[in-house]
Amino acid sequence: MEYFNPDIEKMSRIKLDELIDERIRYTVMYAADNSPFYKKWFETHNVNPKKIEGHEDLRELPIISGGVIRENQPPVTDKFLFKSVRCSDVYTIHETSGTSGVPKSFFLTWDDWQRYAEKYARIFVSQGLSKGDRMAVCASYGMNVGANTMTLAAHKIGFTVIPEGKCTFQLRVIKNYRPTAIVGSVFKLLRLAQRLEEDGINPKDSGIEKLIVGGESFAKESRDYLDEVWGVDVCNTYGSTEGTMCGECKERNGLHVAEDLIHMDLYDASMQNFVKEGDEGKIVLTTLIPDGEKAGTILINYDTDDTTRVLTRDKCECGRTHMRIENPWREAETVYVGNSPLNRIDIESGVFQRENLEYLTGDYEAFLYGGRDSDETILRVSVECKDPEACDKKILEKNITESILKKKPELSEEYSEGYFRIIYNFAKKGGLEFQKIRGRPKRLVDRR
């Protein structure tokens, strides 16, 4: 199986754009008829939803942030004003993690689940999964939709799921059930490889043929190292409870966006205008509903708080015509040194310089502090060492510092003048701060 839905995945750009506009029209009218939030918004702002005819017209509608969703649900309001179906049509109810405030609530119909699963099914097939594969899912089953969506996608394709939920499963799972694929984050899969090696098993000989990563952004260098450790080409996915779900095909040249089911615009920092093609921009999402289907929660112009750029809208070598984007990164993981942005990925790229990995496990964390002078900023990078006593600390410091400054040349002058300093901490295994805290690790923390 090369394609899950070839008629859509190979659709010409002209027909695809026509389909997108058709579904934008249906989605906007569905929101006007069924969403209490949008019904009120259209009336208050005297906007005729029938005049929203396509992609360009979406600029006339508001940008919706996570904060707007929270302001339109309990405890702020009596009802969930983004809920767009009757309670009897709701199949499941979900919440986001709530790491940045009160969890956002999402109501999914069975139609929503079919569309979510369709997106993942296309991704998995494009990555080579088919009937006969056995995939260990190392993503949580619960209020988050990811793991359940992957399982439903597997049912559509016909391969077997081993629903582990975490990468800390006992190694007998690999020995006994012989999974051919694993879904997990870069760092969870690296730690799993380390556990296999400690048990005398070379990850390359484990029977794993496909690794699929997602759940957090990562540096190219860390993915390259994961390729090397497992001996397979690791494919990337990007998804969220809001329904993003994009993924690389085996060509690994950008993440395909299911443009018929999810419309993605990239806005500039002002959130007023689209960016030029190829420029970086903030991802603003509109969930597209096919004619006649239902949606439990309508999101039009939803600010995901993630950033990416369109790599190309040209046909991929795999034959798919849907646009491809760069691996997104999260604005929440960006801090500013003066006017210069510094993202977690910039630090991760430095840690995963190949020469460093003779000494490091790959786990790291970083903290920003203010210096004695009000203009001084200190970045402390802590790395986990295989053996702290054997680490060539001078080489590690040199490699990481040079990589950060190369990626962020605007910080080089601040660094040379002493206003931006980088110091290092070399920890033993299990010695990083985040490893002592439950929950998703935050690897770049501003403590100024």
For 55-64, how does the pLDDT look when each residue is reduced to its tens digit (9 = 90+)? 889 988 989 9
Q: Which two tokens stand for residue 235?
A: 């494919």
Structure tokens at 229: 């450790």
Start and end residues for every CATH 3.30.300.30 domain found in the chain: 333-446
Of 177, 420, 146, 174, nearest to 189 by C-alpha is: 174
Residue 413 has pLDDT above 90, yes or no: no
Say what percent of the chain tops pLDDT 70: 98
Check: CB of residue 170 under 8 Å from CB of residue 194: no
Q: Are 315 and 328 in contact (CB under 8 A)?
A: no
Query: For the chain, what percent of residues have pLDDT higher than 90?
Result: 75
Q: Which two tokens stand for residue 314?
A: 């040209």
Provide mean pLDDT across the span 329-337: 86
pLDDT at 46 over 70: yes
Amino acid 242: pLDDT: 85
* C-beta separation of 80 from 86 below 8 A: no
pLDDT in tens, 9-38: 999 999 999 999 999 999 999 999 999 999
Please give the angle made by the CA atoms of 263, 269 and 273, to the nearest 5 degrees. 55
In CATH, what number does 333-446 get?
Answer: 3.30.300.30
User: Is the confidence at residue 370, as pLDDT, over 80?
Assistant: yes
Say yes or no to pLDDT of 111 above 90: yes
pLDDT of residue 230: 97
What are the CA-CA distances from residue 164 to residues 128, 139, 167, 170 (Å)? 21, 8, 7, 10
Binned at pLDDT 50, 70 and 90, residue 100 comes out as low
Q: In sequence order, what DSSP letters do the residues of 43-71 get, joined into one string?
A: HHTT--GGG--SGGGGGGSPPBPHHHHHH
Which among 238, 321, 315 is positioned nearest to 9, based on CA atoms? 321
Residue 98: per-residue pLDDT: 59
Q: Name the pLDDT band for 271 (thresholds 50, 70, 90).
A: confident
| Among candidate residues 27, 33, 216, 25, the one with its CA nearest the CA of residue 112 | 27
Residue with tokens 């707007």: 68
The verdict on pTM exceeding 0.85 is: yes
Cα 102 from Cα 75, distance rounded (Å): 9
Burial 164-188 (b: 16+ CB within 10 A, else e): beebebeeeebeeeebbbbbbbbbb
Helix (H, G, I), strand (E, B) or coil at 337: strand
Greater confidence (238 vs 372) lies with 238
One-letter amino acid for residue 231 of the chain: G
pLDDT the model gives residue 255: 96
DSSP-based three-state secondary structure for 167? coil
Per-residue pLDDT at 178 exceeds 80: yes
Q: Are 346 and 340 in contact (CB under 8 A)?
A: no
Reported CATH class of domain 1-327: alpha beta
Confidence of residue 101 (pLDDT cuts 50, 70, 90): low
Roughly what angle, to the nearest 10 degrees, separates helices 393-407 and 344-351? 140
For range 334-363, the mean pLDDT: 92
For residues 199 and 227, give the distance between their C-alpha atoms in angstroms, rounded to a whole number. Answer: 20
Looking at residues 218-242, what average pLDDT do you find? Answer: 91
Cα–Cα nearest to 16, from 216, 334, 258: 258
Query: Is the pLDDT assigned to residue 96 strictly greater than 90?
Result: no
Residues of the chain with CATH 3.40.50.12780: 1-327
Weakest mean pLDDT among 156-170, 212-226, 290-304:
212-226
pLDDT higher than threshold 60 for residue 99: no
